[in-house]
């Protein structure tokens, strides 16, 4: 009986040791395979360059998302505060005084400031220069249009970069995939027999480059669409506000509404005067 136990122990110990070694080796291989840098280290200069380019594109995309997201949020808060003060004002003179006191650090404030300033300037100096030729209304419209163009350019700042990243990063990842598969095939052709160790690195690199290219492109495209829609809505509000401001500036009417998207009743409805009887 003791002899049987001894034989079983001698058989079980090598089997357990082999199982432990196999488990440790499998875990080590799994850890190595999950390490992205392991595949990148096996690539050549072209593969590493493509990897660095995609990483830089990703960093730039998230930087623009963070910066523009914070900037848009701040501009929205400032615009709401200014519009509330604007529609609660009694006249454009009160609006001008508010702009001098609180500044014009939002699109609506800058538009109102330049419209009021242009109207006062043309009334005081007239068309003394070539850029001032025309009526006061024409001069005010030109200045307001210039402000809207500047705001449009400011809102679109960085969107071209995001669009370029979203359009090109999948192709950069695809190029890395093709390059990795190419090296895998070269290694297979140069070896006497097919060895998985010789092709695993390039194939893994190819798969990583494909996934990395998509990981860079998807956030860029989603953020671009969100920013474009936000800019479209904001520019529509600015355009409506510009019509209201121009009506107030050109007619000199007082502000009698609190809705930024509705023209003042004093401007929209002409003043009707009752005829007076002539006393003889």
* pLDDT tens for each residue of 125-143: 665 555 556 577 778 888 8
Q: What pLDDT digit, counting tens, does each position of 148-187 carry?
A: 999 999 999 999 999 999 999 999 999 988 888 887 777 7
Q: What is the pLDDT of residues 19-41, one digit of tens each?
A: 455 445 544 544 444 456 666 67
Q: Cβ-count burial of 114 within 10 angstroms (0-12 exposed, 13-18 middle, 19+ buried)?
A: buried
Q: Considering the domain boundaries, does residue 273 fall inside one? A: no
Q: What is the mean pLDDT of residues 249-273?
A: 48
The tokens describing 254, both together, are 């007082």
Sign, CA dihedral 58-60-62-68, equals negative
Q: CB atoms < 10 A from the CB of 261, how many?
A: 11
- Give the whole-angstrom CA distance, residue 55 versus residue 51: 6
Q: Is residue 204 part of a domain?
A: no
Flag whether 205 is in a domain. no
Distance CA 178, CA 9 (A): 53
pLDDT at residue 201 in the model = 64
187 found inside a domain = no
Residue 39 lies in a domain: no
Q: Give me the residue label for tokens 């509000």.
A: 237
Residue 257 has what pLDDT?
Answer: 45
Establish if 1 belongs to a structural domain: no
Cβ neighbour number for residue 69 with a 10 Å cutoff: 14
Q: Which of 28-37, 63-72, 102-111 has the highest mean pLDDT?
A: 63-72
Which helix (H) or strand (E) segment holds residue 64: the answer is helix 45-88
pLDDT at 72: 94
């Amino acid at each position: 009986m003791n002899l049987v136990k001894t034989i079983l122990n001698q058989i079980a110990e090598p089997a357990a040791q082999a199982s432990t070694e196999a488990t440790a080796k499998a875990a080590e291989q799994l850890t190595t395979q999950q390490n992205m840098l392991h595949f990148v280290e096996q690539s050549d200069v072209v593969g590493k360059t493509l990897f660095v380019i995609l990483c830089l594109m990703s960093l730039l995309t998230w930087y623009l998302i963070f910066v523009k997201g914070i900037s848009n949020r701040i501009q929205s808060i400032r615009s709401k505060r200014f519009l509330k003060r604007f529609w609660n004002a009694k006249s454009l003179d009160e609006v001008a005084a508010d702009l001098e006191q609180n500044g014009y650090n939002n699109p609506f404030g800058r538009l109102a400031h330049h419209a009021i300033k242009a109207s006062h300037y043309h009334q005081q100096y007239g068309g003394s220069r070539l850029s001032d030729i025309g009526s006061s209304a024409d001069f005010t419209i030109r200045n307001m249009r210039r402000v809207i163009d500047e705001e449009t350019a400011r809102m679109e700042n960085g969107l071209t970069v995001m669009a370029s990243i979203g359009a090109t990063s999948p192709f950069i990842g695809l190029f890395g995939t093709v390059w990795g598969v190419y090296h895998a095939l070269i290694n297979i052709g140069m070896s006497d027999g097919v060895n998985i160790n010789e092709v695993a690195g390039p194939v893994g690199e190819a798969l990583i480059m494909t996934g990395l290219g998509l990981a860079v492109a998807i956030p860029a495209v989603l953020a671009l669409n969100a920013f474009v829609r936000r800019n479209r809505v904001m520019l529509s509000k600015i355009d409506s506000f510009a019509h209201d401001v121009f009506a107030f500036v050109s007619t000199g009417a007082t502000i009698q509404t609190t809705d930024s998207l509705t023209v003042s009743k004093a401007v929209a409805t002409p003043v009707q005067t009752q005829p007076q009887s002539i006393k003889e």
